[in-house]
Chain A
Amino acid sequence: MLTKLTGGRLFDPANGRHGEVEDLWLHDDRVVADPGPGAIPDAVHDVTGKVVMAGAIDIHSHIAGGKVNLARLLMGEEHEQHRFAGHACGCDRIGGGSGIATPSTHTTGARYIEMGFTAAFEPAMLGSNARHAHLEMSDIPYIDTGGYLVLGNDDFLLDLIATNAGQAAVNDYVAWMLTATQSLAVKVVNPGGINAFKFNARTLDLDEAGPHYGVTPRSVLTVLARAVYELGLPHPLHVHGCNLGVPGNVATTLDTIQAASGLPMHMTHIQFHSYDTAGDRKFSSGAAALAEAINRTPTLSVDIGQVMFGQTVTASADTMAQRHTAPLAHPRKWLAMDIECDAGCGVVPFRYRDKSYVNALQWAIGLELFLLLDDPWRVFLTTDHPNGAPFTFYPELIRLLMDRDYRLAKLAEIHPDAPANTTLGSIAREYTLAEIAVMTRAAPARILGLADRGHLAPGASADVTVYSDLPDRRAMFERPDLVFKSGRLVVRDGALVAMARGCTHVVRPGFDDLIERRIARHFDERIGLPIKHFRIRDAEIRHGAGPQLHPCRRREVP
C-alpha cells in the first residue's frame, strides 16, 4: 500500500522541518522517500495547508497493570456514568468500554488515537506485576506501549546495596530484571521510601538512612542512575523523587538534582515536587528556582504532571505518599497495597478544584514550569495520567501553553490568592507548533531511544497525524483530520475508521549469568516461586508477536 499526503506543512523537528510544505509518502508501515514520477499511489490525501506531524508519544501515562485495574474498580461511579459502545468495523468492535480517568483498554487506545497519539508508556510496572501489565498493554489497541520497571524498593536491591555487593552486581541485577520483565526503562519511586513504609517509617528524607538496611534514598538513586548509565539504556533513570506533594519539597528536588552528580536523569511529574513554603498558607510555588536549576543542567530531562481541574484518581507505587493523601480522598475511599517484597501501590480518588487554593496553585505551578523551562527537548507534556488529570486533557493543556490570553483568562478564574504566589501571570511565552512537535514527538522518541518513531524521515514508522491549523489550539489537537498507525488510516475527522495494533518496546542489556544464581536463591527462599515462573518469555508478548528490541550501548562513568 502506497499512500501520498500532498501539500501538508511538515512539523518534523528531528529532521529540521518546521512547517515547510512537502509531500509525504508512506509505503506499508514505513515513511519512504518520494518514489519518483512513475509511482502510482494507492491512496492520495490532499492535506494542503494542514499541519502534519509524526504520531504523538506520551512518555508517562498509567494505562495498564494492577494499580490501574484497581483504580477502575474503585472508580465505579465514574464508569457507570461513562459507558461506551464499540463501533463495528469489519470483524472488530472498536473503542467500547467505560471510564474517563481510568478508561478500559479498548477505550484507552481509542481516546489516544483519536487525539493523534500513537504511543503511550506505562511508567510504573512492578516486576511482580509485569505479566499482568503486559497482558493489559496487549489489549490496548492502536498504540505502541512499553513499561518502565520499578526498582529501588525491592528487598533484593536494597540488600545488594546494604551488603556492598558492588556496582557490577547491581548492574547485572538491573539487566536481569529488565530482561525477565520485558521492560523498556528503569523507574525509581520514592527511593527506599516504599520499603521503609513496610517497616512502619512514615517519612524518609533524601539523606535519611532507611530502616533495616540503613540505606539512604540518595544512595539508591545514585546506584540506580549509575546502573542505567553503565548498562547504556537509552532512557535515563526515571525518577519519582522523595516527599511527593509535601510543602517545601522543592528543596529535596533541588538536592536530588545534585545527587545525580552529572549522571543523566529524568525527573518525572516535577509539578508535584516543586512546592515551597512562602506565604500565610505555607504553600507556594518553587517553580522558578527549580526551572533555573533544570535549565542549567543539560543532563536532566523532566515531565510536568500537570494538574487540571475536575475528578480524577491518583494511582501510584508510592504508598508512603498516598497514605498522606488518603484523608483528602474524593469520593472518600482509597486503597493501599504492600506488594511482594517489591514495592506497593496506593489508589486515592481526587477532585482538583479551581477554587481550592492548593489545587489552583498546583495548576499554576505546572504551567509555570512548562513556560520557564527553555529547552522543549528536555520537557515533556504529561498530566501523569490519571494523577494530575486524565490524558484526554492534553488538547486543553496545549491551548494553555500556546495561547497567553486564554491562559490569563483561566488564571483569573482560580482561587484569588493563588496568582500572587506564582509567577505565571507575568510569563508572556507561548509555545510554537514547532515546540509542541518537539515536546510531543521528537523529544519523547529520542529520550526513549525509539529511533524510528517521533519523526517523518524515510524509514520511520508510518505513524502520522494531520491537523487543521485552527486558531483554537484545543479544537485543533482534540480532533485531527487524519491519523495513520503503521501506515493504516485509522482516524478520519476525529472518528475511528479501522483497527490497528501497536507493538511493545523493550531493552535487553546483557548480564553476567552469575547473578541469576543469587536471584534464584532469593526467589526460592523469599518469594516462594521458582525463578522460571517469574521470567516473561517473548512469546507471551502481544499474543506471540514478541517485543520490539532497542539496543543498549554499555559505557563507563567518566
Chain B
Amino acid sequence: MTFHPDTLCPFCGLGCGDIAIDRDESGIVPRPTGCPQADRLFRRSAVVPTDARMSGAAVSCDVAIAEAVRLLGASRAPLIAGLAADVDGVLAALSLAERIGATVDHERSDALFRNLTVLRRFGWSVTTLAELRNRCDLVLVAGPDPAAAFPRLWERWVAPEPAFVPGGARSVVFLGGQPLPETVQCLGSRIEESGLDGSAGQDLASIVGRLRTALAGRTAEDDPMTALAARLRAARYAVVIWAAGLFDGPQPDLIVEGLVRLVRSVDGTTRCAGLPLSGADNLIGANQACGWRTGFPLRTGFDGGAPLHDPERFAWQARLRDADVTLWVSAFRPEIPPFTTDGAVIMLAPPEMAVTPEPALFIPVGTPGIDHGGDVFRADSVVALHADGLIDRGLPSVADVIGRMLMALDQPTTVKEAAGC
C-alpha cells in the first residue's frame, strides 16, 4: 500500500491539489474529499482490459491504429471531438486535424462559448481564484450555484478568511439562484438573500438588467436591487461569479454580456471583477492550446490547410451530422454524452467506458493524472497544472496514440516530400 498525499485533481477545473490517494495491488482509491467527482473518478482498478476493439472484437493496438489511419485518411469530413485530454493530447489532436482537414471541438464547449462570445465581441474584466480568496469582500453569484459543477468552490476559495479584507468579513449574495444545501452548510451566515432568487419565475437576464438599472440610479428606493447596487458600490473588491454552463433559457450569452457590463460599471469607481467559471476535463486547456496553435478558439477546422473558425457550424453537435468519421477523445472519465452519427466512430477513452452502440474502433487510453502525467488548465484560465501519473496499467496517453496515427499517416509520403526539403 502506498499513499499519495497532495495529488492534483484534473477533473472539474478547480485544480484541487490536496487529494489523498491510497494505492495497492487492486488499484487506487481516494480518501473522501467531499467532492463527488474526485471521490468517484479517482477510484480505478489496477486490472483493466487494455486491448483495442474493432467492431467489438479485440485487436492489437497496431491493428487498431492502422485501421484508424485508414478511416481518417479516407475521410472527406472528419471530426475530432470530445477532445477531453491533457494539453499534449490536444496538441496532437490539432496536428492530426491540420493533417487530415478535421474540425475540432470539446465535449463541453457550450459553456465556454457562452463566455467567449462576449469576450470576443466586447472584452471583459475578470479575476482568478486566489484573488477571490484573499481580496474579495462581496461575492455576487449570478444564476445557479456554481458548486453544482465545481463542488469545492466555496470550501476552498470563499470559506477561508480573506487576507486583505479588514476584519476578514465577507458576504455571499445569490442573485437569480439559490445556494445548494452543501453551500449553505459551508458558508453559513455569510450567505445573504438578494430578494431575487429566481424562484418567483423571473429570468436571470431580466434580474441582471434590473441590477444594472439600479447601478445607473434608476430604480426605486425600496427595490431590493437598489440596496444591492449600493452594496456593490461600497464593496472594496466585489467578485461576480457565474457558471454559464448552468444557465438555462435562451441566449445565455446575453446574460453574460449583462454581467460583464455590470462589472465594468462598478469597476469604474471601486474594484469589481467577474469570475466566469467553465472548464471540466481540461476544456480551458483545450481552448488555450487551440488558441495558440491556430489563433482561434475551439470549433476550428482546417480549410485548404489554413485554420477556419466557425462557432456555430463547427460545434461538434452540428458537425456530427455531416461527419463521415468521428474521432471521439474522452480521456478523463468513462462517460460520454448521447450522440448519434451516420459516420464511423473511433473512440479513445478509458477502458472502463461502456459504449453502446459499439464504435467502429475503440482504443483504450489512460487518464491524465492517473495513468500518466499531463497538463491541465484551471477553470479561471490562468493557472496550468501538471498532474502526475499514479499507477501504470499499461494504457497509452492520447498524445501517444494520436502521435502513432500521425506517424503512420506520413509514412507513405515521407520519402517523396523529404526530397523537396
Give per-residue flags for B115-141: 1 if the beta carbon is below 8 A from chain A beta carbons, else 0: 010011111111111110111000000
Nearest Cβ on chain A to B168's Cβ, whole angstroms? 13
The 8 Å CB contact of A335, one of B119, B131, B288, is B119
- Which residue on B lies nearest to A490, using beta carbons? B421
A131 adjacent to chain B (CB < 8 Å): yes
Does A554 lie at the interface of the complex (its beta carbon under 8 Å from any beta carbon of B)?
A: no
Whole-angstrom distance between the Cβ of B102 and the nearest chain A Cβ: 13
Asked if A335 and B124 make an inter-chain contact with CB atoms under 8 angstroms apart, the answer reads: yes
Distance in angstroms from A244 CB to nearest chain B CB is 19
* Option from A79, A139, A155, A334 in Cβ contact (under 8 Å) with B295: A79
Kindly provide the distance from the CB of B126 to the nearest chain A CB, expressed in whole angstroms. Answer: 5
Report A-chain residues with C-beta under 8 Å of the C-beta of B88: 543
B21 CB to nearest chain A CB (Å): 14
Q: Is A412 an interface residue (CB 8 A)?
A: no
Most chain A CB within a 10 A radius of its CB, from B17, B128, B383:
B383
Per-position binary interface string of chain A over residues 312-343, scored 1 when its CB falls under 8 Å from any chain B CB and 0 otherwise: 00000000000000000100011111111110
A64 within 8 Å of B by Cβ? yes
Of the residues B130, B291, B386, B413, contact of A73 by C-beta under 8 Å: B291
Interface pair B296/A98, CB less than 8 Å apart? yes
Say whether A104 contacts B383, CB under 8 Å.
no
Q: Out of B135, B293, B420, which one reaches A97, CB within 8 Å?
A: B293
Tell me the smallest distance from the CB of B383 to a CB of chain A, in Å: 6
Query: At the interface, yes or no: A368 with Cβ under 8 Å from chain B?
Result: no
Assuming the contacts A131-B384, A135-B375, asked whether A98 and B237 have C-beta atoms less than 8 A apart, the reply is no
The distance from the CB of B114 to the nearest CB of chain A, in whole angstroms, is 14
Interface: B154 (CB within 8 A): no
Query: Are the CB atoms of B294 and A97 closer together than 8 Å?
Result: yes
A-chain residues with CB within 8 Å of residue B417 when the two chains form the complex: 88-90
Within the assembled complex, what's the spacing in Å between the Cα atoms of A302 and B210?
51
How distant is A201 from chain B, measured CB to nearest CB, in Å?
Answer: 10
A518 at the interface (CB under 8 A from B): no
A200-B270, A333-B122 as given contacts; A139 in contact with B130, CB under 8 Å: no
In this assembly, does B178 line the interface, its C-beta being within 8 Å of a C-beta of chain A?
A: no
A149 to chain B, nearest CB (A): 15
Which residues of chain B are within 8 angstroms of A139 by Cβ–Cβ distance? 91, 292-293
Q: List A119-178 residues whose CB lies under 8 Å from chain B.
A: 126, 128-129, 131-132, 135-136, 139, 155
Docked complex: A45-79 residues within 8 A CB-CB of B = 64, 66, 68-70, 72-74, 76, 79
> Residues 308-338 of chain B: 1 if any A CB is under 8 Å from the residue's CB, otherwise 0?
1100000000000000000000000000000
Are A74 and B123 in contact, with the CB atoms below 8 A?
A: yes
Q: Does A447 contact B (CB under 8 A)?
A: no
A494 nearest CB across to chain B (Å): 16
Q: Decide: B128 and A337 in contact? CB cutoff 8 A.
A: yes
Q: How far is the CB of A310 from chain B (nearest CB, A)?
A: 18
In the assembled complex, how far is the CB of residue B84 from the closest CB belonging to chain A, in whole angstroms?
A: 18
Q: What chain A residues lie within 8 Å of B386 (beta carbons)?
A: 131, 533, 536-537, 540
Contacts of A66 in B (CB 8 A): 381-382
Q: When the two chains form the complex, which single residue of B8, B116, B306, B381 contacts A84, counting CB atoms closer than 8 Å? A: B306
User: Given A97-B294, A333-B121, A335-B119, are A533 and B414 neighbors across the interface (CB < 8 Å)?
Assistant: no
> Chain B contacts of A200 at CB under 8 A?
236-237, 270-271
Is B156 part of the contact surface with A, judged by Cβ < 8 Å?
Answer: yes
Q: How many residue pairs between the two chains, A and B, have CB atoms under 8 Å in the bound complex?
A: 201
Closest Cβ of chain A: how far from B387's Cβ, in Å?
A: 9
Nearest opposing residue in chain A for B295, CB measure: A98
Are A528 and B421 in contact (CB-based, < 8 A)? no
CA distance A74 to B420 in the complex (A): 38
One of B124, B133, B375 near A131 (C-beta < 8 A): B375
Given contacts A198-B271, A335-B125, A338-B273, contact A155 B294 (CB under 8 A): no
Bound Cα distance A529, B385 (Å) = 10
Q: Is A532 an interface residue (CB 8 A)?
A: yes
Give Cα A90 to B417, complex, Å: 5
Which A residues are CB-close (under 8 A) to B87?
A: 135
**Interface: B3 (CB within 8 A):** no
> Is B418 close to A, CB under 8 A?
yes
Bound CA–CA A464/B130 (angstroms): 45
Interface status of B75 (Cβ within 8 A of chain A): no
Taking CB as reference atom, which chain B residue is nearest A82? B295
Known contacts being A85-B304, A335-B125, A338-B127, is A530 close to B295, with CB within 8 Å?
A: no
- The reply to whether the CB of A40 lies closer than 8 angstroms to some CB of chain B is no
Are A102 and B385 also in contact (CB < 8 A) when A135-B375, A529-B17 are? no
Does residue A17 face the partner (Cβ distance < 8 Å to B)?
no
Closest B residue, CB atoms, query A537: B386
Pair A338/B128 contact, Cβ less than 8 Å: yes
Given contacts A74-B119, A96-B305, A340-B383, contact A533 B125 (CB under 8 A): no
Do the beta carbons of B294 and A89 come within 8 Å of each other? no
Instruction: State the Cβ distance, B396 to closest chain A Cβ, in Å.
Output: 16
Alpha-carbon distance between A69 and B236 when the two chains are bound, in angstroms:
29
Verify B383–A336 contact, CB threshold 8 A: no
Q: What A residues does B293 contact at CB under 8 A?
A: 97, 104-106, 139
Are B164 and A96 in contact, with the CB atoms below 8 A? no
Asked whether, in the complex, the Cβ of B421 is within 8 Å of the Cβ of A497, the reply is yes
Residues of A contacting B129 in the complex (Cβ-Cβ under 8 angstroms): 340, 528
With A and B bound together, what is the CA distance between A98 and B296 in angstroms? 8
A69 to chain B, nearest CB (A): 5
Chain A hits for B410, CB < 8 A: 90-91
How many whole Å from B164's CB to the nearest CB in chain A? Answer: 7
Q: Which of A539-553 contact B (CB under 8 A)?
A: 540, 543
Judging by beta carbons under 8 Å apart, are A530 and B292 in contact?
no
The yes or no answer to B18 lying at the interface (CB within 8 A) is yes
B95 within 8 A of A: yes
Q: Answer yes or no: B15 CB below 8 A from chain A CBs.
A: yes
In the bound complex, residues from chain B placing their C-beta under 8 Å from that of A199 are 164, 236, 271
Return B151 CB to nearest CB of chain A, in Å: 15
The reply to whether the CB of A420 lies closer than 8 angstroms to some CB of chain B is no
Q: Is B163 an interface residue (CB 8 A)?
A: yes
Residues 457-516 (chain A) with a chain B CB within 8 angstroms: 497-498
- Verify if A249 is at the interface (C-beta below 8 Å from B): no
Is there a chain A Cβ closer than 8 Å to B371's Cβ? no
In the complex, what distance in Å separates the CA atom of A339 from the CA atom of B289? 20
Contacts of A88 in B (CB 8 A): 413, 417
Question: Given known contacts A98-B294, A104-B294, A339-B131, is B385 in contact with A131 (CB within 8 Å)?
Answer: yes
In chain A between 85 and 111, which residues have their CB closer than 8 angstroms to a CB of chain B?
Answer: 85-86, 88-91, 93, 96-99, 102-107
Bound together, the chains give a CA A14 to CA B112 distance in angstroms of 51
Contact A104:B292 (CB < 8 A) given known A128-B383, A338-B273: yes
CB contacts (< 8 Å) of B384 on chain A: these are 129, 131-132, 135
A14 to B130 CA separation, bound complex (whole angstroms): 46
> Is A404 among interface residues, defined by CB-CB distance under 8 A?
no
Is A198 a contact of B381 with CB atoms below 8 Å? Answer: no
A212 contacts across to B, CB distance below 8 A: 164
| Residues on the B chain within 8 Å of A329, using CB | 123
Question: By the criterion CB–CB under 8 Å, are B123 and A333 in contact?
Answer: yes
CB–CB A530/B18 < 8 A:
yes
- Decide if A83 is an interface residue (CB 8 Å cutoff): yes
Residues of B within 8 A of A540 (CB): 375, 386
Q: Is the CB of A340 within 8 A of B385?
A: no
Is residue A43 contacting chain B, with contact meaning CB distance below 8 A? no
Q: Is B377 an interface residue (CB 8 A)?
A: yes
**Does A527 touch B at the CB level, under 8 Å?**
yes
Q: What is the CA–CA distance of A337 and B157 in the complex, to the nearest angstrom?
A: 18
Query: Does A526 sit at the interface, judged by CB under 8 A?
Result: yes
Pairs across A and B, CB under 8 Å, 24 listed: A64-B292, A66-B382, A69-B288, A73-B116, A74-B120, A76-B296, A76-B309, A80-B309, A85-B306, A96-B98, A96-B307, A98-B307, A104-B291, A128-B382, A131-B384, A135-B289, A135-B375, A199-B236, A335-B123, A336-B124, A341-B134, A528-B130, A529-B17, A533-B17
5 A-B pairs with the lowest CB-CB distances in the bound complex, closest first: A85-B305, A98-B295, A104-B295, A83-B306, A131-B384
Extra A-B contacts (7), CB below 8 Å, given A84-B306, A135-B87, A340-B128: A69-B292, A131-B375, A139-B292, A337-B127, A338-B131, A498-B421, A533-B6
